[in-house]
Each structure stands twice: as C-alpha cells, then as structure tokens.
Structure 1
C-alpha cells in the first residue's frame, strides 16, 4: 500500500488563505460589481492586513477571477456529480442534471452574481475574450454524450443530440442571468418546467420518463 505524504503546514495555510481571498472576492464582486472590486476592498472584506497578501497568492486581478470561475465550477460539478451517478437511466441522469444545475443557481446566488460580473472580463490563454458559445462548449459536449447514450438505449427518441444539448444549456444559462434582481425567476418553478419540457422533448414515447 502506498502511503501518501501529508501536505505541509505551509501548503495547508496557503490553500486556506487562497480560499479566504476567493470567497471575499466573490462577495465583493457580487455586491459592488467587477469594476469597483479593488484589491483594497477585497482585502477589507477578507480581513487581511494588506493587499500585498492578495498579490502574494495571485498574479493580478485576471488571475484572481480565473480562480473564482474555477472555484464556482468545481463546486457546481461536485453538487451535480453524486446526483447524476445515483441514477440508473439516461433519463434519470438528465433529470438530475437539470435539477442539480438549477438548484445550484438557487442556492448560490452570490457566486452566480459574481460569475455574471466577471464573465465579460475573462480571457483565454492567448488573451482573447471568452465567448458565450466557447464557455458553454464543455457542458454541451457532456450533454451530447448523455443524450446519445439515451438514444442508444432506446430511452430517447431520434433527434439531433447537439441541437438538444445546446437548447438545454441555453435554458440553464438563461436562468443564471435571472437569479436575482428585478427580473429574478422563481427557480423552483423554472426547474419543474424545464424538467417537464426536456424529458417530454427527448422521450421515446408520448409519456416522459419518470
């Protein structure tokens, strides 16, 4: 049996400090917006003594917002994975995917507000802006495979799985932009309608799978 070395105290402290800064940045951006979320304000929110502590852990604001995106997406993936893996059918996994995505939006409004704020400022490795389509593509590809699996197993009817995957992701992205504010949705109601709509749209028979 291979024994994994314990992480050093410094690495644990550094990881905790980074997490503290990311959380403070999420809260600051959600409350004040991207442009007003200076390192000084994030420092104050995090209870740190100096903005230099942020600069020690992050190369700049771009580096910090990438960490925010990674943190929120990692949390979202953890939120969904167990629910989907517990399902024995493709239809069950599609239901779990929709419900978990929309419940995550409902339960994490500050994180979603921060993502909405930082989205236009994200850059890829070449420095080019991220596009909405490019941002959605990994999720679209995963959904495509789930839908193809359901078609191969006879659970889903014959349809274009990529087109359906884009529509499902579009419905989730639309909800993400309406988590809070004057145009906020009732996300519980939205989730029920989304599940009913997409299970009926994909079902191999007239009755949507349970």
Structure 2
C-alpha cells in the first residue's frame, strides 16, 4: 500500500508554499483574473493529472481556480499528492497565475447527539448524502459525504449529557494553519466570543451573540 504522509510532513515540504493542508487534503487557490486563463490552467492541470495518473478535484470560478488533492486508495496524503502539487504550482507560475495561500478552507457540519444511530439516518436522507465508500472520501472523522463531492461532509460527535439549548449543530471550518489566528480575531471583532481555546491548536471554539457555535480547525497537533 502507498505510504501515507502526515500533515506536518506535507506542509513542511519544500516547493509547496502555494498549498495548505486542510482536513486531510492538500488545497491551493490560484487567482486567474479571468475565465479564459482559468480554463487554460485547468487544461494544463488535466495534462499533468493524466501523465501522473493522479486526478485532483477542481473548482473553476470567474476569477479563481481551486485545486484539492488526496490519494483515495491510501485514505490520505501521499507522495503522489506532493508530486502533483509541485507540478501544478510550476504551471501556474509559468502562466503568471498567483496563488492565494490564505484563501482555501474546508467546511464540515458537526452534529452532536446522545444517540448517533437515532439521528444519522435522518441526516443521511434529508441531505441526500451517502456513507464514505473510500478511505479518502473525506477525513476519517467524516460520517456522511456529498455524493457529488461539493457539499460539506457531516460528522457526528457523541455527547454524554444533553445541552440546555435546543440546537446541537455546529460548523467546523478548516483553515490554513498560518491564517487561523487572524480568523479568530476577525470573528471576535465581529461580535463573537471565544468559548474555549483549551484545545488550540488545532481547535478554537467560538460562538455568535446567540450562542451558535463554530470551530476553527487546523492540521496542527495539540501543543504539548
């Protein structure tokens, strides 16, 4: 089996300054400025992917192209992702397309429940989601995934006791490790509050003015 690499090993690799590890995948966003150049970048990425027999997910917008890579059969990041990322960055530089390393993010929906088997079928049906079929469908913590590969994954977290508020859904926003503190401060400046940073890194728990929670997450290992 292909050897999986840790997030730290990938993020510290030379030549990957355009890329950030988020939720077990390698992400990069390139500002193309117009659709024609974005399509050309995608065409060149397609050539690289076919040559390497390793195909990333691509999201094309008018001003930007987002690239996401993982080795599905290994259930994580491998040298194949590192090799692809380096080649993509080289093509982007050749085309004069700049990367935006602070822009990538990955959204997950977290559902806290006392009895996960009682609520999981509902969320699977109402979202039209599926169980992960491959190790690399999403990080190991994902319980349901969008079959189209566009929507956020869903993760269930078991609670020991119920909370006083009626809702127990929160958002997990995976952001670049070198941008998370600025994002935390922006949330606080916008009227939010810090619930806890006891697990930071990799998680900062914040809430809005009415107590709805979000967690900002990075790949980093807990300090200590």
Structure number with greater Rg is 1
Please report the TM-score for the alignment, with normalisation by the length of structure 1. Answer: 0.29
* Greater fraction of residues in helix: 1
Could you tell me the TM-score, scaled by structure 2's length? 0.28
